[in-house]
Structure 1
Amino acid sequence: MATVMGSWTFIIIQSGILFAWITANLVGTIRGWDRGWDPCPFILLNLALSFQAAYAAPVIMMAQNRQQDIDRTAAENDYRINVKAELEIELLHEKIDQLREREVLKLTEAVRMLTELQQQSASGTCGSDAEGGRPL
């Protein structure tokens, strides 16, 4: 109901009805048709509009409360999703850190082995040929 009463269609239709009501009563009063059914201070029209306002305001407030509850639930769901995503991101960071540590250990081991090989090759040949003492 709040959606209908808050639309341009409702405002245009209600304005048309009010215009027709006032026009019909003024024309009836001018022509002498028992002064119209709602003569000029339009007490019946005021009563109808007051009745409409008395029921429209609580309905609109209830709709706003319902929308507020829906928004609150959506915000809570968003919060839960964000917390879960944060935990997943933390887990991924831990896995990446573990992979880096493994890679660093492998690289350190490879460097150590290459250093040992270089030291063995340097100390084993002494930089000369065994036959004639010629450099390699």
Structure 2
Amino acid sequence: MAAERETRERAAAGATATNRGRTRLDQPKAPRRRLLPEWDPEAFGRLSERIARFLGTGRFIVWMTVVIIAWVLWNIFAPGDLRFDNYPFIFLTLMLSLQASYAAPLILLAQNRQDDRDKVNLEQDRKQNERSIADTEYLTREIAALRMGLGEVATRDWIRSELQDLIREMEERRPDGRVAFPSERPRGRDTDDR
């Protein structure tokens, strides 16, 4: 048994020695470890759009005004040991500039996403317009072909006038003067055909 185990270990060692540097194509690769955390760009973009939408509302301005007024009033009228930002309100200025430094890129990101959506919509509209123009041109050609075809169609009046001309020719050719085909109606234009 020990000999069999050694033989198997040598075979396995030999197999791994020959397979070094080769990747197996029948198995998926192991995921690589990343130093930075993974994030979904779409989820981050949706979050930025929601924040940008909130920053563009009157509700945000009201809440920001309430917080600033409360901040200033607390740091003026609160007891001295409970104040955390004295008169020049440097910490408030820092918080507002921090909020602005994050708000501007989030708003720009939301605008870029909106621009991308607008480009896709414009491209779809352009393709739809091209299809509509092609359809209109096709229908225009078909209508023109139908009109040309209808111009060559024999109408009832034309057939009647041709038949009357034939009857006249046949009457002129009869030697006895009899009418070959007596007409039941007077010659001329028919008023009943309209």
Q: CA deviation at 1:109?
A: 9.2
1:102 deviates by 1.6
C-alpha distance in 1 between matches for 2:157 and 2:146: 16
What is the deviation of 1:33? 1.9
Distance in 1 between residues matched to 2:166 and 2:82, nearest whole Å: 123
* Bigger radius of gyration: 2
| Residue 94 of structure 1, aligned match among 141, 147, 152 | 141
Name 1:15's counterpart in structure 2.
65
CA RMSD of superposed structures (Å): 2.3
- The equivalent position to 1:117 in structure 2, one of 149, 155, 163, is 163
Paired with 1:9 and 1:107, the residues of 2 have a C-alpha distance of 76
Q: CA deviation at 1:100?
A: 1.1
Partner of 2:103: 56
- 1:1-136 counterparts in 2 under 5 A? 1-28=51-78, 32-34=79-81, 36-107=83-154, 111=158, 113-125=159-171, 130=178
Q: How big is the shift at 1:65?
A: 0.8
For residues 20-78 of structure 1, the C-alpha deviation after alignment (integer angstroms, 9 at most, x for no partner) is: 110111112xxx42372100010110010011011111111111111111111111110
Shift of 1:115: 3.6
Where does the alignment leave 5 or more consecutive residues of structure 2 unmatched? 1-50, 180-185, 187-194
Q: Distance in 1 between matches of 2:157 and 2:122?
A: 52
Distance in 2, Cα, partners of 1:130 & 1:69:
89
Once the two structures are superposed, what CA deviation does each residue of 1:78-133 show, in whole Å capped at 9, x if it has no partner? Answer: 0000000100111111111121122111047962x33421222233336xx749xx
- Which is helix-richer, 1 or 2? 1
- Gapped regions of structure 1 (runs ≥ 5): none
Superposition TM-score, scaled by structure 2 size: 0.59
Q: Equivalents in 1 of 2:167, 2:112: separation in Å?
A: 83
Percent sequence identity is 33
Letter in 2 for 1:9: R
Number of equivalenced pairs: 126
TM-score under structure 1 length normalisation:
0.82
